[in-house]
Amino acid sequence: MTAPVRVVLGGPAAQPQQARAAFDEAWPIAVAFAVFVAIWKLVVLVGGLPVFILPPPETVAARFVTAWTDGTIAPHAVTTIGEVALGFAAGAGVGLVVGYGLARSRLVERLLSPYLVTAQAVPILALAPLLALWFGPGLLAKVIICGLIVFFPVAIATMVGIRSVDRGLLELGRSLRASRRQVLLTLEIPAALPSILGGLRVGVTLAVVGAIVGEWAGADKGLGVLVNLARGSLFDIPLLFATLVTIALLGIACYLLVVLAERRLVGVR
- Residues of the chain with pLDDT > 70, as a percent, come to 89
Question: Which is higher by pLDDT, 22 or 158?
Answer: 158
Chain segment 58-72, per-residue pLDDT in tens? 999 999 999 999 989
DSSP 8-state assignment for residue 187: I
CB-facing half-sphere around the CA of 84: CA atoms within 13 A: 24
Maximum CA extent, the chain: 84
Q: Is the pLDDT of residue 56 over 80?
A: yes
Average model confidence (pLDDT) across the chain: 85
- Name residue 37's amino acid: V
Q: Is the pLDDT of residue 41 over 50?
A: yes
pLDDT, mean of residues 7-16: 53
pLDDT band at 8 (very low <50, low <70, confident <90, very high): very low
pLDDT, mean of residues 122-137: 85
Per the CB < 8 A criterion, the answer to whether 160 and 249 are in contact is no
pLDDT band at 29 (very low <50, low <70, confident <90, very high): confident
What does the alpha-carbon distance between residue 110 and residue 92 come to, in Å, rounded to a whole number?
A: 21
185: three-class secondary structure by DSSP: helix
What's the residue count for the chain?
Answer: 269
Contacts within 8 Å (CB) and 24+ apart, 138-141: 139/82, 139/83, 139/86, 141/214, 141/217, 141/218
Per-residue model confidence (pLDDT) at position 54: 85
Crossing angle of helices 139-163 and 106-121, rounded to 10°: 130
Per the CB < 8 A criterion, the answer to whether 92 and 261 are in contact is no
pLDDT, mean of residues 103-128: 85
- Residues of the chain with pLDDT > 90, as a percent, come to 43
pLDDT band at 236 (very low <50, low <70, confident <90, very high): confident
Q: State the alpha helices, DSSP H only, in the chain.
A: 14-47, 57-69, 74-104, 106-121, 124-135, 139-163, 167-175, 180-183, 189-217, 223-231, 237-266
What does the alpha-carbon distance between residue 227 and residue 224 come to, in Å, rounded to a whole number?
A: 5
Q: Is the pLDDT of residue 179 over 90?
A: no
What does the alpha-carbon distance between residue 83 and residue 18 come to, in Å, rounded to a whole number?
A: 36
Chain segment 206-219, per-residue pLDDT in tens? 999 999 999 988 88
Question: Which is higher by pLDDT, 207 or 52?
Answer: 207
What does the alpha-carbon distance between residue 245 and residue 137 come to, in Å, rounded to a whole number?
A: 25
pLDDT band at 9 (very low <50, low <70, confident <90, very high): very low
Classify each residue of 26-51 as buried b or exposed e, where b means 16 or more C-beta atoms within 10 Å of its C-beta: eeeeeeeeeeeeeeeeeebeeeeeee
Per-residue model confidence (pLDDT) at position 61: 93
- Name residue 157's amino acid: A
Give, in degrees to the nearest 5, the angle at Cα 197 between 252 and 256.
20
